[in-house]
Amino acid sequence: MIRKILHRMLVVAVLSLGALLLYYVFWFVVDAELRGQLEKEWPFRPVEMLFDYAMCCLFTLFSTIYYWRSYEKAERERDKFRLQALENQLSPHFVFNNFSILADLIEVDSKRASAYLMNLSKVYRYTLSHLDHSTVSLREELEFLRQYLALLQQRFGDGIKVCIAPEVSGLQGSLPPAALQMLIENAIKHNEHTLARPLTISVSCTERGIVVCNRKQPIALADEPSRSLSTNVGLHNIVERYRLLTRKKVEINDTPDEYRVTIPLIKTEK
């Protein structure tokens, strides 16, 4: 912030000096008497030059403040619309994936499908009331995540194991809605998860934020087409929303054995 202020002060000073030089050039051009006096001595006294420079600084300051505020307002409006567009992607993305799951369950087990639908209605109530928000509290997001994990348990049983570290619940801050859910969904989409080879996803925390991590369990190529219906919104959506909301960055560590994403907590304004 201080660097930004100093940079702007330097810009005002340089522009004011340029304006002062143009002011003097103008008068030398239009005033023949001044041009004649310049041949003998400099026609402006130091006090007059200082006053002229101060006036140029004031004029430049007000002009640049108006420009910067107009520019920043336009940037905020643009970011607001982009953020709304990203948020609007979430609801259809969530509905599409979960109703695809429900359709599969109806064919396999109608009782599980009925239970899944009941839990889905609770989860979707959250999406209707929160996905139009830029951020939600971590407490709300964890509650939503637990409801979502109940859906996973109904569908996959012990094929998916999500371990949430106890210290995560004690953190304070906010994050984009459904961010944790989308990271877990991303891990499920790209990794094998069966009773014989369950997928374990951990949710922990560091000083940098909340970490969602899983060991890689590549899906057999024959299974890939069945997953092509899933829209590729997740991770890109999260990264873009963070870019518009804060200077804090989403960290992605992709190694041959492990995939780890760290999302920072956004400070809650009081």
Cβ atoms of residues 179 and 193 within 8 Å: no
Q: Is 244 found in the same domain as 162? A: yes
Position 97 pLDDT exceeds 90 = no
Average pLDDT over residues 122-146: 81
Give the Cα separation of 59 and 205 in Å (integer): 51
The Cβ-side half-sphere exposure at 269, using a 13 Å CA radius, reads 2
Residue 89 or 95, more confident: 95
Banded pLDDT at 80 (limits 50, 70, 90)? low
Is 51 in the same domain as 171? no
Q: Which of 22-36, 94-108, 256-270 has the highest mean pLDDT?
A: 256-270
Residue 140 pLDDT greater than 50, yes or no: yes
**Domain containing 29: what range?**
2-72
Would you say residue 268 lies in a domain? no
Structurally, how many domains does the chain consist of?
2
Residue 168 has pLDDT above 80, yes or no: yes
**Distance between CA atoms of residues 83 and 39, nearest Å:** 62
- At which of 42, 72, 102 does a domain end? 72
Containing 68, the helix (H) or strand (E) segment is: helix 46-108
SS3 202: strand
Phi then psi for 164, rounded to 5 degrees?
A: -100, 120
Q: Summarize pLDDT for 43-79 with one digit per residue, the tens.
A: 667 787 788 778 888 888 888 877 777 777 766 666 6
**Poorest-confidence range of 58-67, 181-190, 193-202?**
58-67
The radius of gyration of the chain's CA atoms, rounded to the nearest angstrom, is 30
Task: Tell me, yes or no, whether 269 lies in a domain.
Answer: no
Q: Are residues 31 and 107 part of one domain? A: no
Q: What is the pLDDT of residue 142?
A: 93
- What is the percentage of the chain residues whose pLDDT exceeds 70? 76
Q: Which residues pair with 251 in a beta bridge?
A: 262
Instruction: Based on the fold, state whether residues 143 and 245 are members of the same structural domain.
Output: yes
Q: 111-120, 193-202, 209-218: which has the minimum mean pLDDT?
A: 111-120
Predicted confidence (pLDDT) per residue in 238-248, tens digit? 888 888 888 88
Domain boundary among 39, 72, 105: 72
Q: Is residue 129 part of a domain?
A: yes
Average pLDDT (131-148) is 85
166 and 216 inside one domain? yes
> In the listed set 55, 72, 89, which residue is the last one of a domain according to the structure?
72
Q: Residue 23 is encoded by which pair of tokens?
A: 């002011």
CA 191, chain centre distance (Å): 25
**Cβ neighbours, 10 Å, residue 119:** 18
Checking if the pLDDT of 108 tops 60, the result is yes
**5-9, 27-31, 50-54, 188-192 — which is least confidently predicted?**
27-31
